[in-house]
Structure 1
Amino acid sequence: MVIVDSMAKQELSSSLIDLVTKMSFDDISVKLIVSKTSYNRQTFYYHFQDKFDCLQYALSGLANQLTLDMNYESWQECYLKIFRYIDVNREFMQHIVGSQAYSLFTDFVLQSIDLMLRGVLNLIQGDTSSRKAKEQPWKLFEYGLQGIIINWFMGGLRENPELLVNDLLDIDLQHLMMLLGIDSNNTVHNSKHIQNAL
């Protein structure tokens, strides 16, 4: 039963992703989503409250997949990967941004950044569950990184992300730790990884 449920959620959310690649999210109905799958409306509503819930699930999965493939030795490269992913999938993203689901795009960006920073921190510290980061600086930095991506996207993706990141975020790992409010005395540094990232 659980396996079937998981497969249904995946197939329904994949159907929505395919549709949003071709048309505005606002023009997509639940009926259209299920018509591209082997499931019906009842199954859809068993798994999701509405199409917004389905899109949120799909975007969360994409953020997880995106950050799984990152090489956390250079946090700037990880950050650039988010820009590149959005650029490659720009039509999909534009169909979300130009719709009533705009906030789900901003949530996707923020979730990707949060997962990225936790991956970088995990590489440096080991287990992120024991990190000594202060929530306020961490969130402030995340929202700053989110704002850069959103402004770039809303500006028509005109600026070269590499130049943008190099100009604004020439920050080594030690300074990154400070910006995140992490006590470096409680951090076990892996010197090889830090040297590679500097």
Structure 2
Amino acid sequence: MTKKALAQSLKKLMLTIPLSKITVNDIVNDCEVNRRTFYYHFQDIYNLLEWIFKNEIASVMEEKKTCDSWQQGFLNIFYYLAENKKLVLNTYNSIGREQLETHLYRVVYYLVFDVVQEISVEMNVPEKEKEFIVNFYKVALVGLLLEWIRSNMVEDPVEIIDNLNKIISGNTHRALLKYKS
């Protein structure tokens, strides 16, 4: 409860104040707790920001990590980012950008990993090659997200997913077949 309250305070403050200007005092005053309570839960503001992204981005994925549903899971990431546009842009344009990128890479990795595992279930593909494929798609998909954020999130996420699907539909399966023993 306290972590969520601290997170809500930081998110609220980031709507109007650059991340670099927000202090722990600002957060605890908004949240009506003391500094000790903040430091009991988090090392610093960036640790709180990391907690926010770790918990919120992962939760929007739900169970949309299958061959048939990964596009919806990826679209849910876009929707989360759009719903939290000020937070995301404030983070992206600050030293906190690393927390955002780290969690985008993590959640997209597991999205792609689950799809690759599902597709390769009947194939004899070495783990090293599967990992290469997962990392390739992870970098490509997070690159799309970061470019979308960098360009102020104006492009329609549904259009991005449609274009992405046209480009990569079936390619993961073909890539795995090339590595099949």
Regarding TM over 0.5, the answer is yes
Check conservation: 1:75, 1:120, Cα contact below 8 A. yes
Q: Could you say which residue in structure 2 is the equivalent of 1:97?
A: 92
Structure 2 counterpart of 1:80: 75
Measured after TM superposition, the shift of residue 134 of structure 1 is 2.9
Task: Tell me how large the CA RMSD over aligned residues is.
Answer: 3.0
> Is the 8 Å Cα contact of residues 108 and 141 (structure 2) preserved in structure 1?
yes
Residue number in structure 2 paired with 1:193: none
Structure 1 residues 1-198: aligned runs within 5 Å: 7-68=1-62, 70=64, 72=66, 73-120=68-115, 132=127, 134-170=130-166, 171-172=168-169, 175-177=171-173, 179=175
**Change in CA separation of 1:87 and 1:53 when aligned onto 2, cut-off 3 Å:** same
Measured in 2, the distance between the counterparts of 1:61 and 1:154 equals 23
Q: Which amino acid aligns with 1:74?
A: S
Write the letter of the residue equivalent to 2:109.
Answer: D
Cα–Cα, structure 1 residues 46 and 177, in superposed 2: closer, same or farther, change >3 Å?
farther
- TM-score scaled by structure 1? 0.72
Residues 32-41 or 53-62, more deviating: 32-41
With the length of structure 2 as denominator, give the TM-score of the two structures: 0.78
- Kindly tell me the number of residue pairs found equivalent between the two proteins: 174
Identity over the aligned pairs, expressed in percent? 24
Displaced runs of 4 or more, over 6 A: 122-126, 180-185
1:105-155 CA-partner distances (Å, limit 9, x unpaired): 2223223312433454576689xxxx9463232112101110011112212
Q: Distance in 1 between matches of 2:139 and 2:25?
A: 36
Distance 1:49 1:88 in 2: 27
Q: Separation in 2 of the partners of 1:141 and 1:80?
A: 15
The answer as to whether partners of 1:26 and 1:100 remain within 8 angstroms in 2 is yes
Q: Which residue identity does 1:75 align to in structure 2?
A: W
Tell me: CA distance 1:71–1:144, structure 2 relative to 1, closer, same or farther (3 Å): closer
Alpha-carbon distance in 1 for matches of 2:56, 2:82: 14
